[in-house]
Amino acid sequence: GKTCTDVDECKDNSRVCNGGKCANTPGSYTCECTAGLMPSPDGSTCLDVDECRLDQGVCGPGHCENTLGSFMCRCDDGFSVRPELGPSCADEDECVLGNFACNPNAECINTEGSYDCRCREGFTGDGTSCRDINECQVNNGGCHQDAQCINTEGSFRCACDAGFEGDGYSCLDIDECSNNPNLCENGQCLNHPGSFRCECDMGFMNKDDDDHVCVDIDECSLFQRLCVFGRCENIHGMFRCICNKGYQLDPTGGNCTDINECENPHSCQYGTCINTQGGYTCQCPPNYELVEAGNACVDKRKSQCYLDAGDDLSRGRRPPFSGRRECARPVGDLMTQATCCCSVGTAWGPLCESCPMPGSDEHNALCAGGPGFRPNGNTVVLEDIDECDEMTHICDHGKCTNTFGSFMCTCDPGYRLDTSKAMCVDINECIEDPGTCGVGTCVNENGGYHCLCPDGYMLLPNGRN
């Protein structure tokens, strides 16, 4: 050949350097061996470096497989090649990767090439199976004696019993009585460990065995023999008896006893009082009758009343008399004995019965209010006797003026009161003053007089002389 051209070995045989970098040169080439390769003794190619033989521990926990220019690690279970850590086998953290089969109540603990499962605190088991530990079964879980241990999933808690306060490990009694002074309405609050009770006031009791509440006792329903002869009325904290008419509360306040109306002198005035159960009767003496109110007897008989009983010895005497009596000077219309004898009368009735002597027991009984007063015919309340209205014949020839308990006669001229002070009688001027007509003759007349003159005399203009 006249002309020779260079042969490009790198182009003709891409594998000439056996994985290395081929560089053509005039008449030859060179091989630049990369990592994992080394030049052959003559430099014509690159030879593979068997890392597996050079460093048998190059893969660590795994099997080394040589490759052209490199090697590959086949890692044991629990290991893998992590490029950031190099080509060797490194431990896999299953706990981080989530490649573990622990119980939800266990924690994953990584180990070289594997992992362990450990049950969390409050649970027991092998880690793949965990069950709750009931801490409350041993020594109440360490809770206070006045607390309850409450087991929870994987734990427990302490809660003070009702009536106590604290964190459960230390519990103190709550003094409900001091904290709330009005806790026991209608009772006294007594504190005791963990609670309180109400000591009920009289008339109250605990409701349905609940010693925290005091309710009113309905004594009327509870006790059958209360308020005999009356009606039981329940009131707040006690009861009261509404006694029937004629009864009153006894000293205990729980029963009604008969009222002895006869102990009251006004229950049967002028009669005989007889007590009965729940009432009384008033028995009247002869000629008396019971007033409408039923509390007194009155003599309602009416007859004539006289100023004169017939003789001076008759006053204060009672019939029968020896012989027939003649009473004189009736004082007016018919009236009762009390009206007559408690005023100006000295005798009363068809038999001319003498009025009792003032100051005597009979007079005091008939005229309880004294002279000038009488018992009312319907109510026996003492009332003034209006002599001027009822005794129409007194104060004749004068003016009658009633006063409280009496009366007053003002006589017309020529009259004056007699000894009874109830009648105006003519003044006999001719007798009391014989010379009143001088030489003439005095002629008396009712309420005055006149003079008869002898011959040769004449009356003065006054007609009195």
- Averaged over successive runs of 10 residues, the pLDDT of the chain (465 residues) comes to 82 85 87 86 86 86 87 88 83 88 93 91 93 93 94 94 94 92 92 93 91 92 88 92 93 89 91 94 92 90 90 46 68 93 94 93 91 88 92 93 94 93 93 90 92 89 72
- Write out the CATH class of domain 219-259: mainly beta
CA distances from 338 to 296, 316, 321, 346, 349 (A): 15, 15, 22, 11, 12
Closest CA to 29 of 43, 49, 18: 43
**CATH 3.90.290.10 in the chain, residue ranges:** 305-414+418-425
What is the fold, at CATH topology level, of the domain defined by 9-49? Laminin (2.10.25)
Length of the chain (residues): 465
User: Is the distance from CB of 413 to CB of 429 less than 8 angstroms?
Assistant: no
Give me the pLDDT at residue 167, please.
95
> Helix-strand-coil percent breakdown of the chain, rounded to 5?
10, 35, 50
Does the pTM of the predicted model rise above 0.95?
no
Is the CATH number of domain 305-414+418-425 3.90.290.10?
yes
Give me the pLDDT at residue 322, please.
40
User: Is the distance from CB of 68 to CB of 50 less than 8 angstroms?
Assistant: no
CATH superfamily of 262-298: Laminin (2.10.25.10)
User: Is the distance from CB of 107 to CB of 122 less than 8 angstroms?
Assistant: no
Spatial separation of the C-alpha atoms in residues 380 and 413, rounded to whole Å: 40
User: Is the distance from CB of 159 to CB of 173 less than 8 angstroms?
Assistant: no
Give me the pLDDT at residue 463, please.
66
What is the fold, at CATH topology level, of the domain defined by 135-173? Laminin (2.10.25)
**CATH 2.10.25.10 in the chain, residue ranges:** 9-49, 135-173, 176-216, 219-259, 262-298
Give me the pLDDT at residue 316, please.
46
Task: Report helix, strand or coil for 443.
Answer: strand
CA distances from 116 to 96, 98, 99, 103, 397 (A): 13, 13, 12, 11, 149
In DSSP terms, 445 is beta-bridged to 448
Sequence-ordered alpha helix ranges (H) in 190-316: 219-222
Give me the pLDDT at residue 42, please.
84
Residue 276 CA, distance from chain mean position: 41
Give me the pLDDT at residue 404, please.
94
Give the CATH number of domain 176-216; options: 3.40.50.300, 3.40.1050.10, 3.30.1330.10, 2.10.25.10. Answer: 2.10.25.10
Give me the pLDDT at residue 424, please.
93
